Amino acid sequence: MNLDIRQLKLAFVISLVSLCFTPVQAQPVKSEILASWIFNTPPPPDDINAPGNRVGGGKRGCENIDKQLTTSKEKLLTALVPVYQFPNAELVFGLTITSHPTFWFYVPDVTTFSTEFVLQNEAGQTVYQRPVSLSGTPGVVSISLPSTASSLEIGKRYHWYFNIYCHQQQPPVFVDGWIKRVEPNAVLKSQLETATPKQRVALYATNGIWYESLTVAAELRRIDPKRTDWTTILQAVGLNNIVSEPIVDCCQ
């Protein structure tokens, strides 16, 4: 009887030790947890003296856009960026975690003389500038900062402009806003390393990283037009009128 008890105790100890040393697998990012993600808009900086314009009006010389402005508030030149409304201005601002992000714009049906993208530092010095060749088809276009351009510095803000010149001798119709590069925390870095594209959209969005969330959502939309990531993120920042517009290949 005593032998049986000792054997039972020994078996229990061995089982307990085995349990303690059973390897625990790292939990991956679960798609079901991220299925109902929202864009977590970060608080706006309070020290930017040049707020910006998310929508380019027709007051500066483009007849096509002038006509649109008088007939409808929709489908004007639009920067696909969050906007913060203030009493007398709006702040156009978004975060990135990459050194060479991609910028997104909706371009309406407009006859142009020339188009350009300009990026300036906080001191107003141009750090990157390039002409943009539009396809002539209205829709959403992307402009990526090339690897040959200077990297965006972590913690720094940059002022970008997208200018459309409809006539050589007249000022442009334009949109402008701000981008800031931030360093992702260790948890987000680890999650992104193993995340699927769908999970990356959710991770970027819930962490308030605008530019990468929109860029990955666009990639998913190209693969499967029925996906809702693109629609969800644009609607989150009030760009409902853009969600059905096509993504046009150009500007690379």
DSSP 163-223: EEESSTTSPPEEEEEEEEE-PPPHHHHHHHHH--HHHHHHHHHHTT-HHHHHHHHHHHHHH
Residue 57 confidence (pLDDT): 65
pLDDT: is 189 or 26 the higher one? 189
Q: How confident is the model at residue 110 (pLDDT cuts 50, 70, 90)?
A: confident
pLDDT: is 62 or 184 the higher one? 184
Q: In a 3-state reduction of DSSP, which class is residue 114?
A: strand
pLDDT: is 47 or 5 the higher one? 47
Average pLDDT (20-45) is 58
Radius of gyration (Cα) for the chain, nearest Å?
Answer: 25
Mean pLDDT of the chain: 83
Q: What is the value of pTM for the model shown? A: 0.82
Residue 49 confidence (pLDDT): 80
Average pLDDT (109-117) is 86
pLDDT tens, residue by residue, 122-165: 999 999 999 998 888 899 999 999 999 999 999 999 999 999 99
Pick from 55, 73, 37, 31: nearest CA to 233: 37
- 13-22, 37-46, 67-76, 203-212: lowest mean pLDDT where? 13-22
- 28-37, 53-62, 82-91: lowest mean pLDDT where? 28-37
Q: In a 3-state reduction of DSSP, which class is residue 229?
A: helix
Q: How confident is the model at residue 47 (pLDDT cuts 50, 70, 90)?
A: confident
pLDDT tens, residue by residue, 204-250: 999 999 999 999 999 999 999 999 999 999 999 999 999 999 999 88
pLDDT: is 62 or 244 the higher one? 244
Please identify which residue in the block is written with the tokens 């970027």: 204
